[in-house]
Chains A and B, each alone.
Chain A
């Protein structure tokens, strides 16, 4: 985390939001300490759990990664922080590998684990199939984090909810790395309309929020083909150009 990001983090914390704000960390001592320094009392600590990421990216082995997780959770806990654990690239790991991390996390006092489909390679059917055995055995609540590389982030998040995951990871208008993540409006709307969930998401306010975001990102909201759930995929050339 650079100084500018730390500044931003502090601003978010000081905005005294009703939401629970937590900081994303790699399983590294320096990350955890910086977050604590910024004033966070809830930390998300992420490790990759697929062989590909462990051997090709971190160039280490599974024992080492788990040991690192153990140390960083211990460090966070010793500062009195609440902890959530992230399992990066879980969709390319096995169910057993995920549960191994979940059990370790639970034993160390983490209260939630995130299942990340890091490259968006799941479809709703495989999501459901993979989440069912996990939900049956996982000792702590699970959060599903989908990516939109095949345009399926919303559908996958819904399928995970159908399989029983307690948390859905979403972003406003689905912004995110590459093709983005699941969009909060779409997931909330679909859960409300199709599965009759009670959500606290106010659709009018999310529309305002989406518009605000589009202004900030310079994506105009015209030409969305009257979709009630907006997805800023197209934009019109500026009328005066």
Chain B
């Protein structure tokens, strides 16, 4: 595990499947390159439909094809240097056309990858024997896929270790997230010494999430790897290029993963972020957020208002906390900053004046509330509101 892993990306392929325009795809490629993702599996037919004027494929792009000589030649014509031949293995598998395709690819000077889509359903013995029978064709690597999502991390590790002994060519690993284990299985494969793994940005299309593998490799396997300081924003941009939105709780890149709400967590994070954060948010281009909701305590409110240069007294904080909790429970979600400021203003009676326009009482209230704030007497102010606002109840 000395050399960093190589990520074979599936995001671009997803863009092709979604029929993005050439311009959109070029943009996508730019972001992917910025993320350091230069290896990708590509559907040849979709790539060709972009027309001859579209950029030539990168040298590390791999054309995913069936075991068919015509498709090999076609991929070569489109400028691909690597073909990724995908098969389902069974006992009576037709090896003639596969061998012919492999030999043709070699003759055309292409590198060859054999993708065994149902590899996790097979014994290592069967895979070893099958690969041994193909080796004379000059096959470069085997891509072990777990399309059915049958593997758990322990099995993945042992299977990879055993296969590495059995086969002479390079072994790659591709996990699917059918059971929510794609990240765990991919990290297990990396632990077993596999170098090329299949990922997609944000785990799109049920592949392992690129960001989780990068951070997991760095912090859980304790191996050196470069982490883009813009990882989270770039990943989100890529996902939005595909017309989707990253869920707020998506590990590493979601909007909420560095948000702290419960009183205990916020209190802890203020004292020392390491208490409740596995790594600094800045590492992936995010920042810490204090969320105010029904689990908040006065410490959160005070910290939040202090960050706006508005120190709260204990009394104000506990008064506001009651209002905030009721509001959060009613709307079944935390409050955003605007709502929080509105509630604060309401508490001080500022909002009412503006709403009532020329109303004499309200203007008096507004003036009064501003003046007492100036003299630091907020706590002693009697309730002067002419009407109770809905949000207070």
Contact = CB atoms under 8 A, between A and B. Distances in A.
B183 A194 contact: no
A57 B180 contact: no
A236 B154 contact: no
Interface string B217-259: 0011100000000000000000100011111011110101111
Residue of A26, A229, A232, A233 contacting most chain B CB atoms (<10 Å):
A233
B219 A121 contact: yes
Interface stretch (A61-69, A73-81, A212-220): A212-220
> Interface on chain A toward B: helix, strand, loop, or mixed SS?
loop
A4 interface: yes
B220 A180 contact: no
A227 B153 contact: no
Contact of A121 (B203, B257, B278, B326): B278
Contact of B249 (A52, A178, A227): A178
B178 A119 contact: no
Contacts of A123: 153, 184, 187, 216, 220-221
Given A52-B275, A177-B265, A180-B249, A124 B154 contact: yes
Contacts of A124: 152-154, 184, 188
B325 interface: yes
B326 A4 contact: yes
A194 B152 contact: yes
Contacts of A234: 202, 204, 239, 244-247
Contact of B271 (A57, A175, A227): A57
A227 B204 CA distance: 11
A174 B184 contact: no
B191 interface: yes
Interface string B30-73: 00000000000000000000000000000000000000000000
Given A151-B252, A193-B179, 18 more contacts: A56-B274, A57-B268, A124-B152, A124-B184, A125-B157, A128-B154, A150-B183, A154-B184, A155-B152, A155-B180, A155-B183, A156-B184, A159-B154, A176-B249, A178-B258, A233-B246, A234-B245, A236-B245
B140 interface: no
Contacts of B205: 225
B370 interface: no
Interface string A123-162: 1111010000000000000000000111110111011001
Nearest to A118: B276
B142 interface: no
B152 A216 contact: no
A10 interface: no
Contacts of A232: 247, 249
A235 interface: yes
Given A57-B267, A225-B205, A4 B257 contact: no
Contacts, number: 182
Interface string B316-331: 0000011001100100
B272 A56 contact: yes
Contacts of B268: 53, 57
B1 interface: no
A234 B260 CA distance: 21
B203 A233 contact: yes
Given A56-B272, A57-B272, A178 B256 contact: yes
Given A4-B325, A56-B272, A175 B333 contact: no
A235 B252 CA distance: 17
Given A152-B184, A177-B261, A218-B333, A194 B278 contact: no
Contacts of A156: 184
Contacts of A149: 251-252, 257, 278
A223 interface: yes
B304 interface: no
Contacts of B271: 56-57
Contacts of A155: 152-153, 180-181, 183-185
14 contacts: A2-B321, A5-B294, A26-B264, A121-B220, A123-B184, A150-B212, A150-B220, A150-B278, A154-B180, A162-B154, A175-B249, A177-B276, A178-B260, A233-B246
Interface in B274-290: 274-278
